[in-house]
Structure 1
Amino acid sequence: MMSLQNDGVTVVAEDSTPIAGDPDALRRRLREHGMLLFRGLLPEARLAELRARFTEVLRRHEWLADDGNDAEPRPAANRRDGSPRWWRMYQDLQRVELMHELAHAPEVIRVMRAVLGKHLLNHTRRQVSLVHPGFWVPPHQEHTYVQGTPDVLTAWVPFTPFPADGGALRVLRERSVPGVRPLTVLDTGGVEAEVGPDEGDWWRAPDLGPGDVVVLHALATRAVDENLSPYLRGAVEYRYQSAREAVCFASLRPHHYPRVPGWEELATGWAQRRWLRVPLRVRQVEFLLPDRQESWHELLPHPASRLLDVESGRR
């Protein structure tokens, strides 16, 4: 399993489903935990339908082994992100209308409005995360890559099972967040947020599956354990914020645009395009990109959040 820099206690995340209708209780738990876990929030059948449509795309691009099944697909050998074949496959995943439709699921929208308020901006940049066997996601903060307002919430929605050995999601539990964490470049070429050994404990959300939803604050530090199973694990990530706060223009484009085509091409043939609507008046800001990834935390302003406690004056 991946080795996290933090050596604190690991605790199982608490189910927030019983307080889903209580905005004050949801905000208190988000402030304390940096996350909210909802078991069975979405109909499992809808996620099974999404998985089937994604599986069809993956098979068409020869991304899956012949001996796999739709419930727990097995990836073909030597298939990894970043190759030319991967980009063609990924843009076809982005064409799946149901993936964008589920970002507007009433069950998720009710939770987001309870926390963020009724004036909601549903980011149209939606991400498909595929966790291959042997793959993990290092500790990171979404705010570094999303920017705009710090108070962006991500709905992490698995469409395959995520058992304890299959890439469990972790979130750092902190009394207050330090702002934007420094990044360290890894030998693999990726980066991870620096987390000291005394900076809190890790919430762990094992045995997640289709229908469950984890809500994550953009300043919370999150990671995904190594996928020790032979199966491909997958989740979609939807992001939301108050429409009254700033948003980066990139958050309204497809994920990985312009390597992935724009909406005019991706949404061709959809039954509806209302999944792509955004409020008429939103304040857009530029995305800040440093010369070196290790200096990103120095380039970004120290964040001010109305949902989490942020340490003042720390870099």
Structure 2
Amino acid sequence: MNQEFQRSLIKHDTTAILASRLDRDGYLFLPGLLPVAAVANVQRQVGDVIRAHGWLKRDAPVSDARADPAGFCVDPEPKYVDVLRKINLLEDYHALKHHPALIDLFTALLGGPVLPHPRVLGRNIWPDQPAFTTKAHQDYPNVQGTEEVYTAWIPLIDCPMDVGPLQVAEASHRRGVFDFDIAAGAGGIEIPDALAGLWRSGGFAQGDVLIFHSLLVHKGVANHSQHLRMSMDVRYQLLSEPFNLDNANADGQPLAWDDIYAGWTRPALQYYWQRLELNLKPFDRVWFDKRDALAFASAEAGDPRAMSVLQRIVARDPDPAKQARAQGLLDRLAGCG
């Protein structure tokens, strides 16, 4: 059984204590960091979008996030990404990453001006779909730039253990990039190291935030409730550190910022990173190339675990030949099902 998160309290712990704890453990669990009203506002707006597309029960309040099993879909399936694009049009959804409670926290912890990554990642996890519970992984191979990138995981609804919050492997960020294999579910990869004795977790309420280092191994808890686990990932780094410009692309591509910003009322939130002096570093595909090679080999052997990676290649890879090969293997695996 996992141990509970260590609680970190902004009003009680000094910046030095929090920074030392973050360096040691790789994470901070921060109850009540954000105002409940601010998070609930985003949840209502996102909930309205996803209920209109059949993800939530229509006979329950949006705030209850009661999942409709008939709407089940996963990233990067086209019907999932289509809804994700609509979520990304919401101004308040993007504005939450600029909340002073988050900016002030990271500025203090990192010791200088911070860059909130433009990309916001919405996570929606259906109940009773254990195959698609997020597997153990690290953010760095996907994010890059600098290792000193920190994710703020923000549940949009109350998230007790049965709803499926996150769990983290304490201090695993000190061990570099772990070896991985392919897997079904978010990201399409899984770290096979059990990391026994390191896992920490706990329930969340609206307003609670978990922040963690890009190399910290983390995974989902299975959702056994009746609720859609609604959450969002936003990322921060020192402005002076190397930045991978891919993180300035909106989630749910192809989706242009001009289209997202149509109808927005706050110019300060738009293209803010283009007004900053960024230290750019190109994306290194070494981990993606390894993942894709594993997926192709597994798919050729008839392993259905390859499907999540193959779907990502079809949806997002810049190489048309790889996309065509992945689609052919997906068709073959589907024919075997």
| TM-score (norm: length of structure 1) | 0.84
Question: Are the structure 2 counterparts of residues 47 and 175 from structure 1 closer, same or farther at C-alpha, using a change threshold of 3 Å?
Answer: closer
Amino acid at match of 2:30: F
Measure, in 1, the Cα distance between the counterparts of 2:258 and 2:44: 24
Aligned equivalents of 2:104, 2:84: Cα separation in 1? 29
**2:73 aligned with 1:80, yes or no?**
yes
- Distance in structure 1 (CA, Å) of the matches to 2:247 and 2:195: 33
Shift of 1:124: 0.4
Structure 1 counterpart of 2:171, which letter?
E
Q: Which of 223, 227, 242 is 1:246 aligned to?
A: 242
Residue 110 of structure 1: how far off its partner (Å): 1.2
Q: Write the deviation string for residues 45-77 of structure 1: whole angstroms up to 9, x where unpaired.
A: 111111110111112222222233222222321
Question: Aligned in 2, Cα 1:66/1:241: closer, same or farther, shift over 3 Å?
Answer: same
CA distance in 1, matches of 2:96, 2:87: 14
Q: How many residues align?
A: 284
**Of residues 92, 96, 101 in structure 2, which corresponds to 1:98?**
92
Corresponding residue for residue 42 of structure 2: 50
Q: Give the 3 Å change call, closer, same or farther, for CA 175–292 of structure 1 in structure 2.
A: closer
Instruction: Give the C-alpha shift of residue 31 in structure 1.
Output: 1.7
Is the Cα–Cα contact under 8 Å of residues 170 and 200 in structure 2 kept in the other structure?
Answer: yes
Sort the Cα spacing of 1:36 and 1:247 in 2 relative to 1 into closer, same or farther, 3 A: same
Match of 2:283 in 1: 287
Cα pair 1:149 1:246 within 8 Å, conserved: yes
Instruction: Tell me the SS of whatever aligns to 1:216.
Output: strand
TM-superposed CA distance for 1:78, in Å, is 4.3
- Out of 5, 10, 13, the residue aligned to residue 5 of structure 2 is 13
Q: What is the aligned counterpart of 1:118 among 103, 106, 112?
A: 112
Kept in 2, the 8 Å contact 1:19–1:25? The answer is no
Q: Is the 1:20–1:111 contact (alpha carbons within 8 Å) kept by the matching residues of 2?
A: no
Q: Tell me the CA shift for residue 37 of structure 1.
A: 1.0
The farther-off stretch of 23-32 and 223-232 is 23-32
Question: Per-residue deviation at 1:15?
Answer: 1.3
Q: Name the SS for the 1:86 alignment partner.
A: helix
Query: Which residue of 222, 227, 237 corresponds with 2:223?
Result: 227
- The answer to whether structure 1 residue 71 and structure 2 residue 63 are counterparts is yes
Post-superposition CA distance 1:185-236 (Å, at most 9, x none): 12669211232455x5111122x02111111111111111110112101111
1:178 has 2:200 as partner: no
Is 1:158 the counterpart of 2:158? The answer is: no
State whether residues 154 and 238 of structure 1, in contact with CA within 8 Å, keep that contact through their aligned partners in structure 2: yes
Please report the RMSD computed on the Cα atoms of aligned residues, expressed in angstroms: 2.1
Q: Are 1:195 and 2:189 counterparts?
A: no
In the alignment, the residues of structure 2 paired with residue 288 and residue 161 of structure 1 have an alpha-carbon distance, to the nearest angstrom, of 37
TM-score, normalised on structure 2? Answer: 0.79
> What SS does the aligned partner of 2:162 have?
coil
Alpha-carbon distance between aligned partners in 2 of 1:17 and 1:87, rounded to the nearest angstrom: 36
Aligned AA for 2:6? E
Equivalent-residue separation in structure 2 for 1:287 and 1:213 (angstroms): 28
Letter in 2 for 1:161: D
Q: Deviations over 1:259-284 (max 9, x none)?
A: xx111111110011322412521121
C-alpha distance 120-20 of structure 1, shift in aligned 2 (>3 A):
farther
Contact 2:81 2:252 in 1 (8 A): no
Deviations 1:114-155 (A, max 9, x none): 111222111001111111112411111111110110000111
Within the candidate set 46, 59, 65, 2:51 is matched to: 59
Asked if 1:270 corresponds to 2:264, the answer is yes
Moved over 3 A (4+): 18-21
Q: Identity over the aligned pairs, expressed in percent?
A: 27
Distance 1:20 1:223, change over 3 A: farther
Query: Are the equivalent residues in 2 in contact too, given 1:20–1:26 (CA < 8 A)?
Result: no
> CA separation in 1, counterparts of 2:59 and 2:17?
46
1 or 2 for the larger relative contact order (CA 8 Å, sep ≥6)?
1
Answer 1 or 2: which has greater helix percent: 2
- Aligned counterpart for 1:26 among listed residues 4, 12, 18: 18
C-alpha distance in 1 between matches for 2:33 and 2:109: 16
| CA–CA distance in structure 2, aligned partners of residues 19 and 44 of structure 1 | 17
